[in-house]
Amino acid sequence: MNNEYSQINNFLVKVFNEVLRTEEASLKTKESHNLSMREMHVIEAVCDGTQAGKNTASDIVCSQGITAGTLTTTINTLVKKGFVQRQQDQRDKRVVRILPTEKGKSVNEVHSSFHHKMVSAIMSAMTEDELAMFVKGLAAVKNFFESNKK
């Protein structure tokens, strides 16, 4: 059991760091305009939220687990860089929606492609039974993080 604990701990630490490093490197391309990870994940949340009708500041704060102040600063930066725009809701003028620009949609496609390659590579290396166990294990990791949110 001690050996398994050590293997799982080392694996989680290494994988987490490697995913971050690789994802950050993918954002240092010309197409990504040297966006920060936070900026990219906010663009992703804006794109996903726009499709689902969940693209107000409150929606994005909830999906990203960040403060309203952090989101405001990030959105202001992304507006200046041309990745997102603010738009008053047509039905309820009190509501402001955050929308991706074409530039924002384009960089989100590049980012989504990175995720697609990563998931496809993992899936292609496993049998259906292995995938089922992998998904179960990832659910346990996700549940741990969700239950330890402050």
- Token readout for 103 is 């530039």
- Token readout for 119 is 């998931």
| Residue 150 pLDDT | 61
Question: Model pTM?
Answer: 0.84
H helix and E strand count, the chain? 6, 2
| Residue 1 pLDDT | 65
Write the CB contacts of 57 (distance below 8 Å, at least 6 apart in sequence).
68, 71, 72, 75, 96, 98
Q: What phi-psi label fits residue 18: left (phi over 0), alpha (psi between -120 and 50 degrees) or beta? A: alpha
Q: Tell me the pLDDT tens digit for each residue of 104-126.
A: 999 999 889 888 999 999 999 99
Write the CB contacts of 111 (distance below 8 Å, at least 6 apart in sequence).
26, 27, 32, 40, 43, 44
CATH number belonging to the domain at 3-148, selected among 1.10.10.10, 3.90.245.10, 1.10.3720.10, 1.10.287.540: 1.10.10.10
Q: Tell me the pLDDT tens digit for each residue of 41-91.
A: 999 999 999 999 999 999 999 999 899 999 999 999 999 999 999 999 888
- Token readout for 112 is 């989504």
Instruction: State whether residue 137 is helix, strand or coil.
Output: helix
| Residue 137 pLDDT | 95
Asked if the model's pLDDT at residue 26 lies above 90, the reply is no
Higher pLDDT, 43 or 26: 43
